[in-house]
Amino acid sequence: MIPISLTVNGEKVVRHVEPRRHLIDFLRLDLGLTGSHAGCEHGVCGACTLRVNGKIMRGCLILAASLDGADVVTIEGISESGEVSDLQAAFVARNAAQCGFCTPGMVMTAAELLAEAGTPTRGEIREYLSGNYCRCTGYQAIVDAVEDTLRSRSAKP
């Protein structure tokens, strides 16, 4: 077992982990943070997308043992901080989530795009989200929700 000490959603966490424990299992099984989902466990589907040291990453491709000293933010953290409450409201208004299994990862990816504060086209939004699979919506409503949020943010002084 390997000792690690890290910050998760602003809280100090100290644990011992098996070397093979990946971050998504660490969050879900050891910390009870079940908002991030294990969809494929080989880094393709994006359902486990979360933020490590300020950048979005795949929770299923990172070993928890490698995260001593890291700063991890999950969907729970980003929801509580209110960073993307406008984006989340746009998801509701556009019905940009159906079964919702991909949604936390999708929100984490879109949050990074919003943080870049650019003016992407719909095509560029689609490209940005293309590492996150959604099996229900066909993506259009998600693109709409992100576009709506970008537009309303850029309209604000």
Partner 1 sequence: MNEITPASIGLSREDLPNSYIGRSVPRPNVPKLVQGRATYTDDVTLPRMLHAAFLRSPHAHAKFSAIDTARAKAVPGVFRVFTGHDLAKICDPWVATLDHLKGMKSAPQYPLPLNHATWQGEPIVAVVAESRAAAEDGVAALDIEFEALAAQTDMETALAAGTVVIHPELGDNLVFTRTAESGDVAAAFAAAHKVVEARFVTGRHTGVTLEPRSIIADYNPADETLTVYHSTQAPHMMQGVFAKQLRMKEGDVRVICKDVGGSFGIKVHVYPDEVAVAAMARIMGRPVKFVADRFESFVSDIHARDHRIKGRLAVDTEGRVLAFDIDDLTGIGPYSVYPRTSAIEGNQVVNLCGGPYDFKNYRCTTTVVLQNKTPTCQYRAVGHPIATAVTEGLMDLAAEALGMDPVELRRRNLIRDDAYPYTSPPGMRFEGLSHHASLNKLLEMVPLDRIRADQAEARQRGVYRGIGFASFIELTNPSPFMYGIGGARISAQDGCTVRMDPDGSIVASSGVTEQGQGTEAILAQIVAHGVGVPVNRVKIITGDTQTTPYGGGTWACRGAGIGGEAALQSAIALKQQILEVAGAMLQAAPETLDIAMGEITDKASGKPRMTLFELGRIVYFRGDTLPKDLQRELVQTRHFITKEYPFAFTNGIQASWVEVDPATGMVKLLEHWCVEDCGRVVNPMLVDEQVRGGIVQGIGGALYEHCVYDAEGNLLTTTLADYLVPMSAEMPEIHVGHVETPTRESLLGAKGAGEAGTAGAPAAIMNAINDALKPLNARVHEQPFTPERILRALGTIA
List of residues contacting partner 1 (CB under 8 A): 18, 20, 28, 34-42, 44-45, 47, 74-76, 79, 85, 88-89, 91-95, 97-104, 107, 122-123, 125-127, 129-143
When the beta carbons of 47 and 150 are compared against partner 1, the nearer one is 47
Q: What is the 3-state secondary structure (H, E, C) of 81-147?
A: HCCCHHHHHHHHHHCCCCCCCCHHHHHHHHHHHHHCCCCCCHHHHHHHHHHCCCCCCCCHHHHHHHH
CB 24 to partner 1: min, Å = 11
Listed residue (130, 149, 11, 143) closest to 88, CA to CA: 149
CB 126 to partner 1: min, Å = 4
CB 91 to partner 1: min, Å = 5
When the beta carbons of 40 and 57 are compared against partner 1, the nearer one is 40
When the beta carbons of 37 and 62 are compared against partner 1, the nearer one is 37
